[in-house]
Amino acid sequence: MSSSISHLPKHFMRSENERPECSQAIEGIQVPVISLSQPNKDVLVHELLKACTEWGIFALTDHGILQSLLDQLRYVGEEFFKLSEEEKQKHASNPSSGNFEGYATKMVRNYGEKIEWVDYYFHLMHPPCKVNHQTWPEHPPSYRNVTEEYTKEVLRVNFTILELLSEGLGLEDKSILKSKLGGEELELEMKINMYPPCPQPQLVLGVEPHTDMSALTILVPNDVPGLQVWKDGNWIAVDCLPNALYVHIGDQIEVLSNGKCKSVLHRSLVNEERTRMSWAVFSTPPQDVIIGPIESLVNDENPSKYSTKTFAEYRYRKINRLPQ
């Protein structure tokens, strides 16, 4: 996508009910902030569960990832997107052949035939046996080292959250959520989103409203706001705290918790003058793992709200907008 577009093409313009100008978000409400340095474990577990059940998103602080590594992560992503379109296209994904890893600038059209205002780079990060470094950016040269270091850290944070959430849900073992999602074979997918300046941002969406099909999504934004979440009948503009990770509850945790935790509905807006970027890491079970409500969370008072199926089947139905 060219960042020098001065006139907005029609295929980006949303219908009136979808436009940001017609569905203004509430400003000044902070999403829950969870500190991993909270000395009282019971308080930490309670606050985390409350955020997951009431919001489906929280800002995670004191997570142990160095500011310098987050700065490097942003830098290597920004450097790739500074390349010419010709250079970026050398890394283009090819969904028609089943290859979804790589750079993409032509978005999937929704039913209204409208396109999202975003370019992105997508690739697998973990487990090592499934990673194909040929699909990773070659420029800048430091991309691989930085991303491999971040993979270790974000995997640790994922497992920490899953343990705390297992405790909060009252599961008999704190490793249950992790094991239900594939254990050490949990897959991590990186998606770097780049939203160029837009001449009429009030008429477009960077990403339309959706929930993530992941278990968790851990997001690192740049300093340009745009993330909004749906709560209590309103869009809420998310204020970004420096050095915080933004943790989204995804569909798989909602299913495993039998609806106690909420997969957060969210959207992304764009800016007229500045480029917005975000680094999203989706944690998903391997394709053949069977996901359904955990048995101990299902009883006469709380019957099963979701069907049980492989993640591959779930993904297929979600992508093709079929009932689950």
Is residue 210 part of the annotated active site? The answer reads yes
Is residue 126 part of the annotated active site? The answer reads no
Q: How far is CA 201 from CA 75, 105, 114, 238, 275, in A?
A: 25, 18, 14, 17, 12
DSSP 8-state secondary structure symbol assigned to residue 221: E
Check 46, 174, 191, 309 and give the catalytic one. Answer: 191
DSSP letters for 116-144: -S-EEEEEEEE-GGG--GGGS--SSTTHH
The pair of three-digit structure tokens given for residue 7, joined into one six-digit string: 């006139």
Backbone angles phi, psi at 158, to 5 degrees: -55, -50
**Which residue in this structure is represented by tokens 């850290």?**
153
Check 46, 50, 139, 210 and give the catalytic one. Answer: 210
Helix (H, G, I), strand (E, B) or coil at 276: strand
In the sheet that holds 33-35, the strands lie side by side as 33-35, 57-61, 245-249, 216-221, 276-284, 187-195, 119-126, 102-104
Closest CA to 201 of 1, 5, 28: 5
For residue 151, how many C-alpha atoms fall within 13 Å in the half-sphere facing its CB? 20
Q: At what angle do helices 143-168 and 67-81 cross, to 10 degrees?
A: 130
* 8 Å CB contact between 115 and 109: yes
Helix (H, G, I), strand (E, B) or coil at 28: coil
Is residue 191 part of the annotated active site? The answer reads yes
Check 123, 178, 212, 248 and give the catalytic one. Answer: 212
Beta bridge partners of residue 57, listed in sequence order = 248
DSSP letters for 248-272: EE-HHHHHHTTTSSPPPPEEE---S
DSSP 8-state secondary structure symbol assigned to residue 94: B
Instruction: Write out the catalytic residue numbers.
Output: 191, 210, 212, 266
